[in-house]
Structure 1
Amino acid sequence: MSQLKSTIDHYFGVDALDWFDRSYITDWIVVGILWFLTGAVKASPVFEREFDLEDLTISHPQKEDQVSSFFNNTTALFGPLIIAIIIGFFQRSLLIIHHGAIGICATRGLAELITEVLKHSVGRLRPDFLSRCQWDKVIQKCTGLDTTMANGRKSFPSGHSSTAFSGMFFLSLLIAGQTAAWCFNIPKAPRCFKSSRMGVFVLTILPLFWATHVAVSRLQDYRHHTEDVIAGSLLGVVCSLLCYLIFWPNPFLASSFHPEAFGQPRLLYRETDYVRSRATDLDLEGVVEH
């Protein structure tokens, strides 16, 4: 243990964990609760909506997924996480690694929970539901596997879309926060390839191309209706934006890129700031009283 601490101190500095506060433990517990609740919702029954055998919107064939759930989930979680770790190591900052990790875990947990709650509550039928149902005209009921039919009732919103956009938009925000790519009034150094406006801008939107591909593939595979994909994509974007802004400065504001704090996360729990703000409040109260 002492060897690990000495290694951390040597690479990141003896003050590498000075930012840490016990409140971050509570934050991680809350994130863990989000993931636990998601698992509980997944285990609950799905609302069984009535259907019409003549409904053409649910009569498409069942196909293989172009992007598997495992690969999509892995990419959305570990893609941003690995990039945050790389940035943290290059800048010798455990704070960046921690905030990147908790930010993406919170994003994925929140997006997944909301998605699963909506799926199980709405029970919208997938475009390939009748293929899953395997209707028997004699006994007048579906003869498909229960698990397959239950999954066929989870069309709204698109889980693949919310997963891809929550992870990839968080990654885009992370890159934009390190490069000021989305803050167009920040001056850039001349005669430097790394200062290319279009270069860093395209770099930030590359993850969104992957997320868009995932979303479109759900329509091509007859897994979702158009509204499901749009709702899932927006859900992922909103969750990633909210969770990113909790731990990182706004990448659209010039004030977030002050030279001393360029690319650095928020220090959420600081006693000095609290004392200073309390003193300011008391001074203002005194002025009002006089």
Structure 2
Amino acid sequence: MSYSGSDPVGEMPEVWLGSHTARSHGVKVARIHMHDWLILLLLVIIDALLNFIEPFHRFVGQGMMTDLTYPFKPNTVPVWAVPILAGVLPIAVFCVYYYYRKDVYDLHHSILGLLFSLLVTGVITDAIKDAVGRPRPNFFWRCFPDGKEAFNPVTKDVICHGDAKVIKEGYKSFPSGHSSWSFAGLTYLAWYMSGKLRVFDRRGHVAKLCIILIPVLIAVLVGISRVDDYWHHWTDVFAGALIGTTVAAFCYLQFFPYPNEIEGWAPHAFFEMMAERNKVQPSGVRANSICMRGMTDIETAFMAADT
């Protein structure tokens, strides 16, 4: 819903900046979205179960080992680093914006949307991993850590004698979880920064575009590392990136307008609140009680430092 009060589109009273803080409105906003937070908890439980169950063990014959004998190397980007890049980093940016603008609607909805992006992506990724059971490029050394092959004389399938947990992870190549999570969080951050920086205001400031591409570049580099480490085939990384990017777009647009729109700097809930306030307050009272300042440049009003 777009704000359609008596003010020019995309403008707002200066006094409203900082009038909706976490202390004054945080509990109210969180209570309204309590069911969303409960769904997030459910997604966490589902994803945990998906990681607990055994994936499908796809048939791997001796002739199929050609593309599965790459070295078993450690991760260039550790598993623990992915939540930091995809989750903590974006939330830090949200908090910095909140520090300057004190808009709890933006803070709450940006974090909620990000968590949905990550967890929905995680559930989709892990569900596909378990269902497909594609061997990783380093599957040979997971299955035969001593280098001695063993195959069933009847079915011709592999008979692994390595560590059970290592073998289990060896059947989870498609799609790449590192890639899907990185793109889910960092692409969401790129969408968020696009709205705040007004990248698509048609003024040709290419520097803004370069800034929002930094998170995307980080996600790309994470994906490349998965191929370089021989933990994933390139198609695994491509599929993971596609899943993460798509989910991030849907989750962002659930809470925010398109970044190229004139109202792209704030969540939908903010404009809904503005519209409701205008319905409640008579225009005469509103004009006398609030000192207005015309703002013909949204980017200057909301992104430049306060004067």
TM-score range, shorter chain: 0.7 to 0.9
Whether the 8 Å CA contact 1:84–1:101 is kept in 2: the answer is yes
Q: Which has the higher contact order (CA 8 A, sep 6+)?
A: 2
Distance in 1, matches of 2:230 and 2:57, equals: 20
Whether the 8 Å CA contact 2:135–2:172 is kept in 1: the answer is yes
What one-letter code is carried by the residue in structure 1 that aligns with 2:267? P
How far apart are residue 272 of structure 1 and its match?
A: 6.7
What one-letter code is carried by the residue in structure 2 that aligns with 1:147? K
How far apart are residue 59 of structure 1 and its match?
A: 1.4
Distance in 2, matches of 1:231 and 1:81, equals: 25
Percent of residue pairs identical: 25
SS class of match (2:124):
helix
**TM-score normalised by the chain length of structure 1:** 0.79
Residue 213 of structure 1 is matched in structure 2 by: 221
How far apart are residue 14 of structure 1 and its match?
A: 7.9
Change in CA separation of 1:98 and 1:149 when aligned onto 2, cut-off 3 Å: same
Q: 2:186 aligns with which of 168, 183, 191?
A: 168
Provide, for residues 169-204 of structure 1, a one-character-per-residue CA deviation record: whole Å limited to 9, x for no partner.
0110111010111x243x5xxxxxxxx711211110
SS class of match (1:155):
coil
Residue 286 of structure 1 is matched in structure 2 by: none
How do 1:278-289 residues align onto structure 2 when only pairs under 5 Å count? none
Distance in 1, matches of 2:139 and 2:150, equals: 19
Residue 12 of structure 1 is matched in structure 2 by: 21
Provide, for residues 206-246 of structure 1, a one-character-per-residue CA deviation record: whole Å limited to 9, x for no partner.
01111000001111111111111100001000111111111
How far apart are residue 21 of structure 1 and its match?
A: 6.8
Residue 99 of structure 1 is matched in structure 2 by: 109
SS class of match (1:38):
helix
Structure 2 residue 273 is matched with structure 1 residue 255: no
What one-letter code is carried by the residue in structure 2 that aligns with 1:249? P
Provide, for residues 99-145 of structure 1, a one-character-per-residue CA deviation record: whole Å limited to 9, x for no partner.
12111111110000000000000000001101110064578521110
Provide, for residues 41-69 of structure 1, a one-character-per-residue CA deviation record: whole Å limited to 9, x for no partner.
11111101110223211111111111011
How far apart are residue 264 of structure 1 and its match?
A: 1.4
Whether the 8 Å CA contact 2:22–2:104 is kept in 1: the answer is no
Aligned residues: 250
SS class of match (1:256):
coil
Residue 203 of structure 1 is matched in structure 2 by: 211
How do 1:1-290 residues align onto structure 2 when only pairs under 5 Å count? 12=21, 16-17=25-26, 20=29, 22-55=31-64, 56-134=66-144, 136-137=148-149, 141-181=159-199, 183-185=200-202, 187=203, 197-252=205-260, 254-257=261-264, 263-267=265-269
**TM-score normalised by the chain length of structure 2:** 0.75
How far apart are residue 15 of structure 1 and its match?
A: 5.4
Distance in 2, matches of 1:118 and 1:209, equals: 25
Distance in 1, matches of 2:211 and 2:28, equals: 30
Quick check: 196-205 or 20-29, which moved more?
20-29
How far apart are residue 16 of structure 1 and its match?
A: 3.7
Change in CA separation of 1:126 and 1:24 when aligned onto 2, cut-off 3 Å: same
Change in CA separation of 1:221 and 1:245 when aligned onto 2, cut-off 3 Å: same
Whether the 8 Å CA contact 2:30–2:108 is kept in 1: the answer is no
Give 5+ residue unaligned stretches, structure 1. 1-8, 188-195, 258-262, 277-290
What one-letter code is carried by the residue in structure 2 that aligns with 1:91? R
Distance in 2, matches of 1:271 and 1:255, equals: 15
Q: CA RMSD in A?
A: 2.6
Change in CA separation of 1:221 and 1:104 when aligned onto 2, cut-off 3 Å: same
Whether the 8 Å CA contact 2:20–2:105 is kept in 1: the answer is no
What one-letter code is carried by the residue in structure 1 that aligns with 2:206? M
